[in-house]
Amino acid sequence: MKSGYTTGRWSNGLAEWTQGDTAFLSVAFTWRLDDAYMRALWYRAQGYRVRAGGPGIFTRKHYLADVAEIGGEIPDAIARHNPMATFASRGCPVGCWFCIVPKMEGRDFTLLPEFEPRPVLCDNNLSALPADYQSHIVQRYRAAGVPLLDANSGFEPATFDDEVYERWAPINRGPWRFGYDETTEGAQVQRVMQMLRARDMRPHRIRVYVMIGAEPFAACMDRIRRVIDWGGEPHCQPFIKLNALHKKPNVRHDWTPGLLTDVARWANRRYWKYTDFADYQRSGAAARAQGHDDLFEGAAA
């Protein structure tokens, strides 16, 4: 495969561009809506017609209604957020309660067979796609000579098996990503991780999204520790409401905002390699003073 590809840089949730007399705003997160509103006002003052869309607008469709036209399809808008990103399908059949995808894109897949292969593939559930379409995606990547550096949203443990692995292994150069959002998913996640470890997969290539905050602290910490014990690396994502106007986790159960932050930093910056969470929480500065900060740069986002 060709060299020189990267995973690119993301727009931090708000992409904007102009085409002719129209300005486009693509809002990925609801907490960028205030920024999008101000940009819409600016473009209108310059004489542009303004169109706005994206996941960040879906749950608050009227937020920009007085300054922009809402909705409509903009082909390949993901490339405005990251020129190295692409979609080969939309939708997801799982229907997780905390996820916007089934609400916005549906629980039936919409296939995009003419997609442009790029190093970051953002499809919501690669392993649940029809087997022949998975093969189609892989073949387009191989024909284009483009490596898959990041299957961004990853695979579903319940549908990931040996055939799925063998299908994707020839092009996947990045981590194998899965979600472990609730305690009930433990058996499936363990099965997949054991499958990958049996193929001598290094821990840094088994990257497991662990949602924290929607279950009590002990349950979330147990899932984090299981991922580590099973030979992978956890990436913690505090639960944020789909319509949140500020990038702040929804605090539930026995969590506090500070505890959510501490757990996410301890896990995502890989401090767990050097100190137990209890020790990190008592003296986070001591963990950071061990001289390992260079290892934490570029941790998964």
**How confident is the model over 103-121, as a mean pLDDT?**
95
Asked if 300 contacts 152 with a C-beta cutoff of 8 angstroms, the reply is: no
Q: What is the pLDDT of residue 48?
A: 98
Report d(CA 165, CA 170) in Å as an integer. 9
> What ranges do the domains of the chain cover?
14-70, 78-296
Asked if 57 contacts 76 with a C-beta cutoff of 8 angstroms, the reply is: no
pLDDT digits (tens, 9 = 90+) for 176-231: 999 999 999 999 999 999 999 999 999 999 999 999 999 999 999 999 999 999 99
What confidence tier does 290 reach under pLDDT thresholds 50, 70, 90? Answer: very low
Q: CA distances (Å), 100 to each of 136, 240, 276, in order?
A: 26, 12, 34
Q: Where are the alpha helices (DSSP H) in 76-207?
A: 78-81, 101-105, 131-144, 162-168, 186-197
pLDDT digits (tens, 9 = 90+) for 193-203: 999 999 999 99
Please determine, for residue 287, whether its predicted confidence score (pLDDT) is greater than 70: no
Backbone angles phi, psi at 151, to 5 degrees: -80, 85
Across the chain, mean pLDDT equals 91
Please determine, for residue 4, whether its predicted confidence score (pLDDT) is greater than 90: no
DSSP secondary structure letter of residue 148: B
49-53 vs 69-70, strand pairing mode: parallel
Q: What is the pLDDT of residue 227?
A: 98
Report d(CA 281, CA 275) in Å as an integer. 10
* pTM exceeding the 0.85 threshold for the entire prediction: yes
Asked if 93 contacts 107 with a C-beta cutoff of 8 angstroms, the reply is: yes
Q: What is the pLDDT of residue 3?
A: 62
| Percent of the chain residues topping a pLDDT of 70 | 92
